[in-house]
A = this chain, B = another copy of it.
C-alpha cells in the first residue's frame, strides 16, 4: 500500500488471537497484521514498544490502534493503544526557528489542532543569530549546552500544551520538526562547525525519522520524529517545509518562494524543476539593526503612512499597543513612505529641506524622529539614523540581487512568475507595495504576491496529517538544484545597481515612478 491511500498515520487492527496452531510471537503477530494492511515492506517495531506488548495485547483483547510512519527502510510503529481508548494518539509539529519556536499539538486521527503556542528560542541567551551560536558550540560543552537549551525548552512547552489539552505527554507518538540546517543540527546535538566553513558541509542532509526519546524529548515510548531534510548548510528543512506547504513542486506554472530573514532563502520552480539559493541579506529585514529595531511583537510599529504637505506620520502598532520599536516590515513601510514623500532621495539619504524639524542631530549624527517621546512606551523618542537606512538599503539590495540572479539563471523575468510567495512573519506583515517601492521585491502585479504564513510549521503539520505528503519530502529535497551564489563581479555589479531606490534602472520599476506624486 502506498501512503497515498492512508487517511491518517493511525491504523485500527484486530489481530487473530494466538492458538496452538498459530504460535507466532506477539511482535510478529502485530507485524504480520500490519504487513497485510500496509504492504510487504519491513515493519519495524522497536524493542521499547515490544517490552509491554504481551500484556497490552492480552488486555486489549488483540484489538488496537497503531500509529505508524513510513521511512525509506519500511514502516515504523511509533505508538500503540487499545481500539476502544477514547483518548487520541497525538502528533506534535515543531517550527524550530532561530528566534522563535512554534509548537502545534495535533490529533493524528482527525488531523485537528488541539493546542498551539510559541516561545523564544532559549538559545537566544547565547546569541541572536546562527553564527554566534556556531562559535559558541566550539567552546567546551558549548554544543551540549545549546542542545540542552532547545531540548529543555521544547519539553517545557510540550508539557504546557499537553496540560492545556488535558492529555499526557505519552500520547505524543509522532513529531515533525522543520528548521534551518544549523538549528536542526543543534537540536540533534550535531557539531555545526563545518556548516560555516568552506566548502560548507553539514553533518547530515537527511536526518530521517529517529527516535524522539533518543533525542531527549519527553514524549511516548517509541515515538519518532520526522526531521525535515536539508539541501545544504544554507538551505534547510524549513524551506523544504515551505515548498511542501505551498505545493510549488506540483504546479504547472512557475512560482517563487522567498523566506526573508538574516539570510534570504529563495526557491524557484514548478512540477518540472526546482532551483534554490540562499544569501546573506543582512539583519535589517528581520528585527533590524537600528536601535529601535524589534521583532514583531505587541507595540512594534508594523505600518507607517506619511501623508499631506506636513508629512504627517500615521503609525500602526501590533495589537495597538504604545510604540516600542519598529519591526522589519514596518521599517520597509517607513522607508517606502520616506522615499515616496521625498524625505529621502534615491540613495536613501535624508533630504533636510523636506524632513524639516523631524531631522535632529546629536553626536554629529542625523536622526529622524519617527515617534515623539510622549507617545512611546518607554517615554523616549523613537528615531532612525542614516546608518540604519544605509543598512536597510544594503539588505534590500542584496535581496533584490538574489531574486534577480535566480530568475535570470533560468532565463525568466519576475513578470513571468505565476505566484510570488513570501514566507514567515515577515511575509504576513509586509506590504508588498512598500517592498516594491524601495526596490526590494520586483515590480510585478500585487496580486501575484501571496503571504505564506508560517510555512515551516504548516509543512510539519502537513506530514503529520497527510501521510502521502511525507513521501514527497526526499523527492523535493533531491529535485532541488542548489545554486551557489558566488559573490563574483557580476553579482557585485547587480548589487551596486540595486542600492538605489528603487533601482538605477527605473524601467524595472515602472509602477513606482507612477506612484511618486510627492517627490
Contacts and interface: CB of A to CB of B under 8 A. Distances in A.
A188 interface: yes
Interface stretch (A203-211, A260-268, A350-358, A455-463): A203-211
Contact of A44 (B73, B204, B207, B215): B73
A469 interface: no
Contacts of A204: 25-28, 50
A20 B50 contact: no
A25 B229 CA distance: 11
Contacts of A53: 203
B23 A54 contact: no
A159 to B, nearest CB: 24
B201 A51 contact: no
B23 A206 contact: no
Contacts of A482: 23
A60 interface: no
Contacts of A214: 47
Given A24-B205, A204-B28, A205-B28, A199 B18 contact: yes
A199 B50 contact: no
A466 to B, nearest CB: 24
A19 interface: yes
A150 to B, nearest CB: 16
A47 B210 CA distance: 8
A327 to B, nearest CB: 33
A200 B27 CA distance: 14
Nearest to A199: B20
A322 interface: no
Contacts of A270: none
B54 A189 contact: no
Contacts of A190: 50-51, 54
Nearest to A231: B23
A24 B203 contact: no
B200 A50 contact: no
Given A47-B188, A188-B47, A214-B47, A25 B198 contact: no
A47 B50 CA distance: 22
Contact of A27 (B191, B203, B233, B484): B203
A249 B166 CA distance: 57
Contact of A50 (B26, B28, B193, B203): B203
Contacts of A232: 23
Interface residues of A, number: 45
A210 B50 CA distance: 13
A194 interface: yes
A55 B201 CA distance: 12
A23 B23 CA distance: 51
A37 to B, nearest CB: 18
A361 interface: no
A18 B72 contact: no
Contacts of A73: 42, 44, 73-74
A195 to B, nearest CB: 10
A269 interface: no
Contacts of A19: 199
A203 B27 CA distance: 6
A442 interface: no
A26 B203 contact: yes
Contacts of A233: 23
A23 to B, nearest CB: 5
A74 to B, nearest CB: 6
A275 B189 CA distance: 50
A439 interface: no
- Counting chain B CB atoms within 10 Å of each CB, the highest count among A22, A50, A204 belongs to A204
Contact of A206 (B18, B22, B28, B484): B28
A202 interface: yes
A180 to B, nearest CB: 14
Contact of A54 (B18, B44, B203, B210): B203
Contacts of A51: 189-191
A191 B24 contact: no
A254 B258 CA distance: 71
Nearest to A201: B18
A137 to B, nearest CB: 12
10 contacts: A20-B200, A22-B199, A23-B199, A23-B201, A25-B205, A47-B207, A51-B189, A54-B201, A54-B203, A73-B74
Given A47-B214, A54-B190, 13 more contacts: A23-B201, A24-B201, A25-B203, A25-B204, A26-B204, A28-B204, A28-B205, A44-B73, A47-B210, A47-B215, A54-B203, A55-B191, A73-B73
| The 9 residue pairs across chains A and B that have the minimum distance between CB atoms | A73-B73, A25-B205, A25-B202, A27-B204, A20-B199, A42-B73, A18-B201, A28-B205, A25-B204
